[in-house]
Amino acid sequence: MKEFDIFKEISHRQNKKITKQRSIIVKKIFSLHKHFTADELFKMLKRENSEISRATIYRTLKVLVDMGFVEEREFGQGKKYYEHVLGHESHSHFVCLVCGKIIEFKSKVIEDEIKKIAAEKNFKVEKISTIVYGICDECQKKGG
Query: What pLDDT, on the 0 to 100 scale, is given for residue 5?
Result: 87
Measure the CA–CA gap between 112 and 3, rounded to whole angstroms: 28
CATH 1.10.10.10 segments of the chain: 3-84
Which stretches in the chain have pLDDT values below 50?
none
Query: What pLDDT, on the 0 to 100 scale, is given for residue 59?
Result: 93
Q: Does the reported pTM lie above 0.95?
A: no
- Which letter, b or e, does each residue of 113-143 get, where b requires 16 or more Cβ atoms within 10 Å of its Cβ? eeeeeeeeeeeeeeeeeeeeeebbeebeeee
Query: What pLDDT, on the 0 to 100 scale, is given for residue 1?
Result: 53
The class that CATH gives domain 3-84 is: mainly alpha
Query: What pLDDT, on the 0 to 100 scale, is given for residue 144?
Result: 56
Amino acid identity for residue 134 in this structure? G
Task: Confirm if 37 and 82 have CB atoms less than 8 A apart.
Answer: yes
Which architecture does CATH list for 92-141? 2-Layer Sandwich (3.30)
Residue 81 parent element (H or E): strand 80-84
